[in-house]
Structure formats: C-alpha cells, structure tokens
Amino acid sequence: MRQDIEAIRRAFGCGDPLAQTIARLGRPSRHAGGAVRWPLDDRIETSLLISGSAREIAFGRDGAMLVLLSLEIGDLYGDLAGSGNGDTQVEAVGPGEATHFGGDAVIRLVESYSCIGVAITRQLSQRLTTLRGRMIEAAMLSATGRIAAELLRRAKMSDNNVIRPLPVFSDFAVTVQSTRETVSRTISQLEKRGVLQRVDGGLQVVAPHRLEEMVY
C-alpha cells in the first residue's frame, strides 16, 4: 500500500476509496531535516505528515525556542482551525514527506465526509490536552520532573517502553524547557540507577514507576 494512502487512513480513519480521493486533492512534497514545513505559502492551509516527524515551535523575541507539539505520521498541521498562523512554525526533525491541501479542499472534505471533521476535531482536542499538560508541568515541576514526564510520555507512545530513535539531548532540552547539560546528567543518573537502559537504537524505560515518582 502506498505510504500516503496509509497515512491518510491513519489520520482520518477512512477506507481506501476515500483515502485515494483525499490523496488526489493534495500536493505531496519531500523535505530535508530542519526544513520549515509551515507556513509555506498563502494557498496551503493544512498539511498531513506522510513520513518522518516534525515539531511545532514558537520563538521569543530574545531567540528562545519553545516546542509546542511533536508531530508524527498521520498528524495534521497548519491552520486547522482557520485562525491564522500566529507566531509559530512547523519544522521537520528529519527527512520526510507531507501532502499539502488548500483551504477550499479541506472545507469541501469536511462538508462531504463527517469522518474528516471528526478526525480534525479529535486532533485539536488531543493537542489542547497536550498543551494543557505542558503548561502544568512548566509551572509546577522541576527540570528533573519535566524530564521524567517527557520520558514517560515518549515511552507510552512506543512498543515495550522503548524510545526510538535515541533522544537528541539538545532537542529534548528544548522540549522540556531545560538545558542540554541537565538532560544529559539526569538521563545518565537514571541509567546508573537502572531506571533507563540503552538498547539497540533507542532508550528503554525499565522502571516506569520510578519515573512516575519523580514527576509526582
């Protein structure tokens, strides 16, 4: 099965015929790591990540960077709610591919197929929940607590609590609003205590309950 069709099915919970219809309305493109994926131009309002991963980030006036959301295959990004771009952009973490839709195409799909509107609503709801959690963590947890919470979050999204690929400490630090040194030191200490373990191409959370204790 084509990769774009599979990603569309994953995003909208639809069958192959509708997935193929949606694919014909989009414009696919490949991108390199670090490339800005949103905003692109005025004609593109919504995009779907087909392969690779990306992140939505915001920048402060002093150059500080804040990761708002991590995006994976099947995730939509762009102006989903029709409220404009604001002060954020979407950046590719590594090489990948996306399909881009104009605003009229998305509106027609939502009007014609209820599953499209439901899928967009669910993604927006999930992101609100994620952002609310990050706000609470930033306000109430120490740097160590935020690191533990992010490790748990990533472990739960994977098989056998293995985080793959191995986190890049500098990127991880931006996500948890800490420093690379603090992330490196904390993860090293957790490995020595047997909470984390290096495995082929990743990092396994061996004792999730120990991380939970650090968070709460």
Please give the Cα distance from 70 to 91 (Å, whole number): 10
Residue in 126, 107, 102 with CA at minimum distance from that of residue 46? 102
pLDDT by position in tens, the chain (length 216): 488 898 999 899 898 899 999 999 999 999 998 899 888 776 668 899 999 989 998 887 777 788 888 899 999 998 875 555 567 889 998 899 999 998 788 888 889 999 999 999 999 999 899 888 888 888 889 999 999 999 999 898 887 899 988 888 988 998 888 999 999 999 999 999 999 999 988 899 999 999 999 887
Instruction: State how far the Cα of 57 lies from the Cα of 199, in Å rounded to an integer.
Output: 29
Helix (H, G, I), strand (E, B) or coil at 69: strand
> Rounded to the nearest 10 degrees, what angle do helices 143-156 and 208-215 cross at?
140
May I ask the CATH class of domain 3-134?
A: mainly beta
Tokens of 40: 């692109």
User: How far is 53 from 12, CA to CA, in rounded Å?
Assistant: 18
Same fold, 3-134 and 141-215: no
**Strand intervals (E) in the chain:** 27-31, 36-38, 44-51, 54-59, 65-71, 76-78, 88-92, 96-102, 162-163, 196-199, 202-205
pTM: 0.75
CATH number of 141-215: 1.10.10.10
- Cα–Cα distance, 70 to 13 (Å, whole number): 20
Domain boundaries of the chain, sorted by first residue: 3-134, 141-215
Around Cβ 76, how many Cβ atoms within 10 Å? 20
